[in-house]
Amino acid sequence: MQRRQGRVNAGLLLLLYQISQVGLQNIPSVTLAVLILNVFFFLNPMRPLHEACISVKEAFYRQNWQRLLLSPVHHVDDWHLYYNMVSMLWKGITLERKLGSMWFAYIIAVFSVLTGIVYVLLEFMLVKILNDPSYEMSCAVGFSGVLFALKVLNNHYNPGRVSSVLGLQISSKYACWVELVAIHFIAPRTSFAGHLAGILVGLMYTMGPLKKIMKACAGGFSSFADPDRPRNDYSGYSDFGGATYNNERRPYGFWFPPEQHSEEEMRRQRLRRFWRQ
């Protein structure tokens, strides 16, 4: 494990500020653990980036499968970490409260490995289709593939929402595809195949057999709650340009919708008001 050279990491400081603005008490446990884990490995990387990234050459030909675990939690620089973890922050708050901490942790673990596998398969297909061996060397690192998979889940569980992507109002159904293309043009060095792998993994969960397979594998563990059980829905966040809730635009930062009382609590309040009359 190598410690990074001591320098001011503006992205890391801004990330800590964002977390403090949300409040630790408002961040679910698994989401907070993912943030801490990624920050820890950014400050104390287990391997240099060229030994942690995932590629066809390293994973397929050299059978260096440990990179499937290393690549998602290593980042190129502090801004790479910042943008990924801020995205993880709001996605985690939304999804973990909806699915439950145990199931959400299960999803993070499975998606982290599976996005790497799908990425290697996509790059391998490009090598064969384009007859270009350079794709064997293309090496990816970072948590963004998992984040694209989580975005597909978030859109699935919150249909009909509108996301703001670079100032454009896009239906959440298509937002991940628009972001896939937009990010590639804005930052060409980002891994298009890595982001696409995340979307495909998310679709495998929402439209394919992945969720059923995961439920079957977790069937013997009582600690895993049913992911389809209704829970409080904390929706209304968008990736770019703030959040909306009940058509009310919030210009920046994180905002939580007011606490929703259960039907039983509302009935009790009505009864109390009746007896006071």
User: In whole angstroms, what is the distance from residue 230 CA to residue 157 CA?
Assistant: 11
User: In whole angstroms, what is the distance from residue 44 CA to residue 2 CA?
Assistant: 6
User: In whole angstroms, what is the distance from residue 6 CA to residue 8 CA?
Assistant: 7
Given 80, 195, 235, 238, the catalytic residue: 195
Name the packing angle between helices 78-99 and 29-43 (round to 10°). Answer: 160
Catalytic site includes residue 144: yes
Helix, strand, coil distribution of the chain in percent, nearest 5: 60, 5, 30
- Given the structure tokens 């937009």, which residue do they identify? 182
User: In whole angstroms, what is the distance from residue 125 CA to residue 118 CA?
Assistant: 10
Given 55, 71, 138, 144, the catalytic residue: 144
Active site residues: 144, 195
